Amino acid sequence: MDGKEFHDWSLRAAEWGAAYRASLRDRPVRPPMNPGAIFDSIEASPPEHPQPMEAIFADFEEKIVPGMTHWQHPRFFAYFPANAAPVSVVAEYLVSAMAAQCMLWQTSPAATELETRTVDWMRQALGLPEGFAGVIQDSASSATLAAVLTMREKALDWQGNGKGLAGQPAVRIYASDQVHTSIDRAIWVAGIGEANLVRIPTKGRWRAMDTQALEAAIAADRAAGLLPAGIVACVGGTSTGGTDDIAATAEVARRHGLYLHVDAAWAGSAMICPEFRHFWTGIERADSIVFNPHKWLGAQFDCSIQFLRDPASHVRTLAIKPDYLKTHGHDGIVNYSEWSVPLGRRFRALKLWFLLRAHGLENLRQMIRNHVAWSEALAARLAREPDFEIVTEPMLSLFSFRHRTPAEADSDAHNLSLVNAINDDGRIYLTQTKVEGRVAIRFQAGQFEATEADVAGAFDVITEIARRTA
């Protein structure tokens, strides 16, 4: 592809993207597609000779797009959002065109320094105190892994990386069953082992860790010769929005000298609204906090911010400094590759900078407030229907519900069938979870361009299909 072709196809790709985004309301949220259909439509062997871009682009439109789930669809109510505000997409065009590898300050000074500044903008926006520093990770999974590795190293007096875990006392990490499965994976990858992830029972409306049970578990492990290392708390857990009492959990961590990591991947974005900050009272006492601007704020994936109260411990755990990665002649610079597990780093800060400047915090606050209010209204409306029950009350914009069945009917099978029928219909997209062992259907409002009509319209789709399939 020569320079002119690059120019022409870049314009065409941008024009296609704008037309695609404008057409989303006319598309089913999830494609009506059988497994293997896309795979079978792609040639089994790679091409030996160049193919014209017209043919490649035509195949993209005809074979690939019809098989995509449309995450930017305004009626995407499943999982959590993975928003990409249009201004964020424009910034990503620029990042892709520059294609910089931003692992060190010297490999792109602007990328490092803009990251430092935009992360501090977000610290201020969330109401976190001065003293927290941060880094943009690819995802909350990577941030949590980094936090778990730091817990492990601190507990082992910085001997784990060098000597390994053999011969060391078993490192213990504490969390409830409301945390994301990325915590389990971090425990695996860190070599700690699933058996050493201690599940603490929960209580109350928000399914918070029972801090008395937490304290008892820590004491019992110490008495047994095990090595308590850290606690993973959550604010807005993925299943139903489970939220720990951060202040009480932080006090337990302080008494026992444990590292506290708070996973607020989804709900953390809502903390730009002061009225929602009661959900993480005590957050200033956490050692590590992660939230994802690529979920609710509109920064295109991937963009996950990890705040750290003591970056030195984090860097001591993760940094490797061979001579070929040193920046000679400059003292006191930050190399963010030393703050993360991967060495390679994309220029993630640019889209966040564009987003914050183009929308401003007040417009982003209003979007989140709208989503919360609209979701609460939908939950209240479903609750008034005699054949529906609200299983978990709204936590911000997330709640779960169930369609009632006769006593002799299989409620789990019916509600699984219902969520599948809703998704096959294509007008909205939902997911299911389990609450106290029984199937419930999750709803969350969070798509960047959703309207009140989009959220309210979910009521008609849900009730229509439920009553048709009952």
pTM of the model: 0.91
Q: What is the pLDDT of residue 321?
A: 67
CATH architecture group of domain 101-346: 3-Layer(aba) Sandwich (3.40)
Q: What is the mean pLDDT of residues 59-81?
A: 93
> What residues does 232 pair with on adjacent strands?
261
How far is 124 from 412, CA to CA, in rounded Å? 44
Tell me the per-residue pLDDT of 394-444, one tens digit each, with 9 for 90 and over: 999 999 999 998 877 799 999 999 999 999 999 999 999 999 999 999 999
Identify whether the C-beta of residue 260 lies closer than 8 Å to the C-beta of residue 231.
yes
pLDDT class of 453 with cuts at 50, 70, 90: very high
Pick the CATH number of 3-75 from 1.25.40.10, 1.20.1340.10, 1.10.10.10, 3.40.718.10: 1.20.1340.10
Longest dimension (CA), the chain: 76
The CA–CA distances, whole Å, from 122 to 205, 214, 267, 357 equal: 29, 31, 14, 12
Alpha-helix residue ranges (DSSP H) falling in 224-348: 246-256, 311-318
How far is 77 from 152, CA to CA, in rounded Å? 37
Q: What is the pLDDT of residue 324?
A: 45
Identify whether the C-beta of residue 334 lies closer than 8 Å to the C-beta of residue 342.
no
How far is 78 from 398, CA to CA, in rounded Å? 10
The CA–CA distances, whole Å, from 441 to 238, 382, 402 equal: 13, 12, 6
Q: Is the pLDDT of residue 344 over 70?
A: yes
Q: What is the pLDDT of residue 199?
A: 95
First to last CA, the chain: 57
Report which secondary-structure segment, H or E, holds 196. none
Rounded-to-10 torsion of CA 14, 19, 21, 23? -170
Tell me the per-residue pLDDT of 216-240, one tens digit each, with 9 for 90 and over: 999 999 999 999 999 999 999 988 9
Give the residue extent of every domain in the chain: 3-75, 101-346, 358-469
**Other CB atoms within 10 Å distance of the CB of residue 55:** 9
Name the residue among 154, 192, 187 with its Cα closest to residue 318: 154
pLDDT more than 70, % of the chain? 97
Q: What is the mean pLDDT of residues 4-29?
A: 93
How far is 430 from 20, CA to CA, in rounded Å? 22
Q: What is the pLDDT of residue 329?
A: 43
Q: What is the pLDDT of residue 328?
A: 42
CATH 3.40.50.10800 is the classification of domain 358-469: no
Q: What is the pLDDT of residue 108?
A: 86
Q: Which residues contact 222 (CB under 8 A, 6 or more apart)?
A: 228
How far is 58 from 62, CA to CA, in rounded Å? 6
Half-sphere exposure of 198 (CA within 13 A, CB side): 23
Q: What is the mean pLDDT of residues 252-274?
A: 96
Name the residue among 261, 255, 165 with its Cα closest to residue 219: 255
Q: What is the mean pLDDT of residues 339-350?
A: 89
Tell me the per-residue pLDDT of 102-139, one tens digit each, with 9 for 90 and over: 888 888 888 899 999 999 999 999 999 999 999 999 99
